[in-house]
Structure 1
Amino acid sequence: MSRKGKSITLSVSERDKAELETLALEFGCNWGERPNISKLVESIARRQLIVAPNNDWTNERIKALETARKALVDLGKTDEAKQIAELLKSRSELTLPFREEIETFLNHPLPAWRQQVDNLIHRQQPFRLSYQDAAERVWSYTVLHARIVPIEKRQYLLCRAEESEGNQDVEGLRHNWTLRLDRIQEAAVVSIDKPWENDLERIAVEFHLLSRLAFAYQRKTEDIFVSELEAEPPIKRVVRNISGTFWFFREITRYGKDCEIVSPEAVRSQFKQNLKSLCQAYDLEIKEED
Structure 2
Amino acid sequence: MSRKGQSITLSISERDKAELEAIALEFGMKWGDRPNISKLIEEIAQRKLLIGNNNNWSESRIRALHRCIGALTDIGQIEQAQIIANLLLERSELSIPLRTEIEGFLKNLPPAWRLQIDNYILRNQPFQLSYQDAAGRLLNFTVRHAKVTPHEKRQYLDCWCEETEGNFDIPELLHNWSLRLDRITDAAVTSISGKWRTNLDEITVEMHLFAGLAFAYQVKPEDDINEWLPDQPRVKRVIRRVSNTFWFSREVMQYAPDCVVVSPENLRDRLKQKLRTLCQLYDIETRK
For the aligned pair, the TM-score class normalised by the smaller chain equals 0.7 to 0.9
Q: 1:23 to 1:213 in 2, by over 3 A?
A: same
Report the CA distance shift for 1:44/1:111 in structure 2 as closer, same or farther (over 3 A). same
TM-score in terms of structure 1 length: 0.78
Q: Per-residue deviation at 1:207?
A: 0.7
- Aligned equivalent of 1:222: 222
Unaligned runs of 5+ in 1: none
The whole-number CA distance in structure 2 between the counterparts of 1:4 and 1:121 is: 57
Q: Please say if residues 54 and 91 of structure 2, whose CA atoms lie closer than 8 Å, have aligned partners that are also in contact.
A: no
Gaps of 5+ in 2: none
Residues 211 and 233 of structure 1 are in contact (CA less than 8 Å); yes or no, is this contact kept in structure 2?
no
**Does the CA-based 8 Å contact 2:154-2:180 persist in structure 1?**
yes
What do residues 35-66 of structure 1 show as CA deviations (whole Å, max 9, x unaligned)?
56677677778876435243x54443233223
Residues 54 and 93 in structure 2, CA contact (< 8 A), matched pair in contact too: no
Distance 2:39 2:204 in 1: 69
In structure 1, how many angstroms separate the alpha carbons of the residues matched to 2:276 and 2:37?
73
Which residue number corresponds to residue 18 of structure 1? 18
Indicate the residue corresponding to 1:285 in structure 2. 283
Q: Kindly report which structure 2 residues correspond to 1:79-118, keeping only aligned pairs within 5 A, or say none.
A: 79-96=79-96, 98-107=98-107, 109-118=109-118
- Post-superposition CA distance 1:238-264 (Å, at most 9, x none): 111100112212322343422111222
**Match of 2:53?**
52
Name the residue aligned to 2:238: 238
CA, structure 1 residues 3+121, in 2 after alignment: closer, same or farther (shift >3 Å)? closer
Partner of 1:129: 129
196 and 27 in structure 1: CA distance in 2 versus 1, 3 angstrom threshold: closer
- What aligned pairs does 1:1-290 form with structure 2 within 5 A after superposition? 10=11, 12-26=12-26, 34-35=34-35, 49-54=50-55, 56-73=56-73, 77-96=77-96, 98-107=98-107, 109-133=109-133, 135-184=135-184, 186-231=186-231, 233-279=233-279, 284-290=282-288
Instruction: Provide TM-score, normalisation by structure 2.
Output: 0.79
Paired AA for residue 206 in structure 2: E
Question: Any idea what SS the aligned residue of 2:179 has?
Answer: strand
The change in CA–CA distance for 1:143 and 1:61 in structure 2 (over 3 A counts) is same
Give the Cα separation in 2 of the matches to 1:257 and 1:242.
20
For residues 193 and 278 of structure 2, the distance between their equivalents in structure 1, rounded to whole angstroms, comes to: 45
| Structure 1 residues 198 and 32, CA gap change in structure 2 (3 angstroms) | closer
Q: How many residues align?
A: 286
Residues of 1 paired with 2:210 and 2:127: CA distance?
A: 44
How many angstroms apart in 2 are the aligned matches of 1:59 and 1:280? 53
Give distance in 2, aligned partners of 1:53 and 1:59: 13
